[in-house]
Every structure is written in structure tokens, then in C-alpha cells.
Amino acid sequence: MGKLGLLDHADGAPLTPDVGRETLLQFVDAVEEGFEGLFATLAEDLPPIHGVTSELRTITGDGGHEIGLHVHRPEGVEGPLPVIYQVHGGGMVMLAAKGALYTRWRDELAAAGAVVVGVEYRNGGGALGPHPFPAGLEDCATGLRWVADHLGELGGTHIVVTGDSGGGNLALALPIKAKREGWAEAIAGVYAQCPYILGDWTEASLPSLVENDRYWLNRSLFPLLAEVYDPGAGNAAEATCWPYHATAEDLRGLPPHVISCNELDPLRDEGVAYHRALLAAGVPSIGKVNLGLCHVGELMFRSAMPDVYAEAVRDVLGFARSLG
């Protein structure tokens, strides 16, 4: 077994979703600590990024709570620029925009020529929880609408939403929510990486859930995180909770999407299915499968695979520019 403990099969989750909420929340705390430790290790010794400034803006959510917006912008670049609204991963129940992996990702996107805004939304569990669905999505929407209302002040032209894994879920849910509420014009496009959207992983209903199970991510983890996000599966069929279940009516008229999946990801096939659903509903969508990569591998291994990381930056930014 490698030093990360992940060259062999990843450990099975030691719990079942019915163990009780407190136990599940404690489990998420431990998983979050593990993920942040992993990401901090992978971010060690990366070369510094020059020419990018960042600031934390704080806005107020509907419940009176604070929502942090991490704004990154390139220095000395003539604007206005596309705005990339970045939603971090973590199964909607853990991790943070301020973490090492996502701070680096925003810096890299900004250095390439975008204003990047990372939203610190309430999580279903972990250090920024516990706030089940729809709290996090509501925060993401509040932050996005603030960015849209302050586009000129930010030096932006238009907004592309991007997110990975659980952030991919939220990135896909946002335009569905926006369409229902009548503000979809705020979103010019959506770029989702390895989205975590199925909502029910008790059965291996898609081939990649078996094909790539325990390739870092263990399928048995997903139902536990899902129970923390959506207790009692009360929103199992709700498209803004689990976008895999979006109907053609939910999707019709949405802005262009990119659905980027990874070959060795257990979640690959739910992303592929979503891409096909978008196309069936008449939404322009580019579907990608990145060969040889595990879940979110293009963001994790900046040192080992700088060309892969750079391609991810180019692709997100190129998509954003194409919509200007």
C-alpha cells in the first residue's frame, strides 16, 4: 500500500446511513480532516503564483448569516474580464473555498485572465456545518446574484459557474434554480467537473460505480454523505438537490454547459448521463472524459501532472471566454 494508503483499494466506510445523525456528522468531521490533510500535502512545494491579488468580501445571506466571497484577479491586465464563479467540492457537506486546493485553483484561473470568485457556502456537515439542503445552494445563489449585481465593480463581463464533485452538483443545480426563480440570465455558462449528482448510491446502477469503485473514492462513502446533505432522502427526486433527476423541462433553455468527467472516477457515468440529458433537452453541452484520471485528478496533482492541470485551466477559461 502506498503512503497515502490509496494505491490499494480504499477502505470501506465503517458505517451505514442509518447509524444516526450525530454519528454521521462525526464521521464527516473525520473525513473532512482527512481530505484537507491530503490536499494540503498535495499543495506543498508548489511554485508561487505572481501577479494575482485576492480579497475576501463578505455579504449577508437571507438568514442574516455571513457568506464569504474570495475574489481573485490578475494584476496589470486590461479588462473587463470574464468572471468565473467557483464552487468547491466536498459532497456539499465538507471542505471550504479557503482550502489549499481551491485557493490555488482560483489563483491559477485568475493568473490566466479571469476574475474568479469562490463562494464560502454553508456545508451539510463538517467545520462549516451542519446545514442540510438547501442551505448551501441558497448561499451559492445569494453569492452568485451579488456577483451579477456587482459585475461592473468587479470588472467582469459575464459569469460562468464552475464546480468540482459536490461543487459540480451545486454548479449544475444553480441554473435550474435560477430558471425557476427567473434570474437565469445571470449565468452565461456552466463548467462542471466530476459532478456528484446521482443521490442514491445504494445500488451500483451505473457501470463506473463498479468499474472504478475504491479508486481513491469508495462508493460506500456516498450514501453516508448524501444522508448528511439530505436527511431522510426527503429531496431524493428534487433536481436542485440531486441534478441527475432533472427533467427535460428543468433543463430546457439553460445556458451552455461543459460536463467534464474522468475515466477512473466512480462518478464518471452520472456525469456522462447528465451531458446526454442536456443534449436531449436542447441545451448546448460539451461532454468530456479525461483519460487516466481519478476523481478530480486534474485539480489534485499540479506537481506531478502540470500539463494536465494547465489544460484544465485553459479549458475552463477558454469556455468562459467563448461565451463573452
- Per CB under 8 A, residues contacting other proteins are 2-14, 26-27, 30-31, 34-35, 37-38, 41-42, 207, 210-218, 221, 263-264, 291-294, 297, 301, 303-305, 308
Q: Of 85 and 229, which has the nearer Cβ to other proteins?
A: 229
Q: Are 128 and 136 in contact (CB under 8 A)?
A: no
DSSP secondary structure of 224-261: HHHHHHSGGGTTTT-TTTSGGG--HHHHTTPPPEEEEE
Q: How far is the CB of 278 from other proteins (least distance, A)?
A: 25
Q: Of 108 and 265, which has the nearer Cβ to other proteins?
A: 265
| Distance of closest approach, residue 131 Cβ to other proteins, in angstroms | 21
Specify the residue for cell string 459575464. 158
Q: Is 192 helix (H, G, I), strand (E, B) or coil?
A: strand
CA 49 – CA 109 distance, rounded (Å): 11
**β-pairing verdict for 257-262 and 81-87:** unpaired
CA 287, CA 306: separation in Å to the nearest integer?
Answer: 22
User: Least Å distance between CB 32 and other proteins?
Assistant: 9
* Surface-to-core class of residue 263, CB atoms within 10 Å of its CB (0-12 exposed, 13-18 middle, 19+ buried): middle
Q: How far is the CB of 213 from other proteins (least distance, A)?
A: 6
Q: How far is the CB of 66 from other proteins (least distance, A)?
A: 28
Please state, in angstroms and rounded to a whole number, the distance separating the CA atoms of residues 311 and 300.
13
Q: How far is CA 142 from CA 32, 68, 148, 177, in A?
A: 25, 11, 10, 12
CA–CA gap between residue 90 and residue 143 (Å, rounded): 18
Give least dist CB 166 to other proteins, A: 13
Nearer to other proteins, 188 or 293 (CB): 293
In the complex with other proteins, which residue's Cβ is closer, 115 or 293? 293
Mention every residue, 6+ apart, whose C-beta is less than 8 A from residue 169: 92, 163, 195, 196, 197, 242, 243
- Local structure of residue 294 (DSSP, 8 states): -
3-state secondary structure of 26: helix
Q: What single letter denotes the amino acid at residue 178?
A: A
Residue 28 or 84 having the CB closest to other proteins = 28
CB of 211 to other proteins, least distance (A): 4
Q: CB nearer to other proteins: give 30 or 280.
A: 30
| CB 60 to other proteins: min, Å | 33
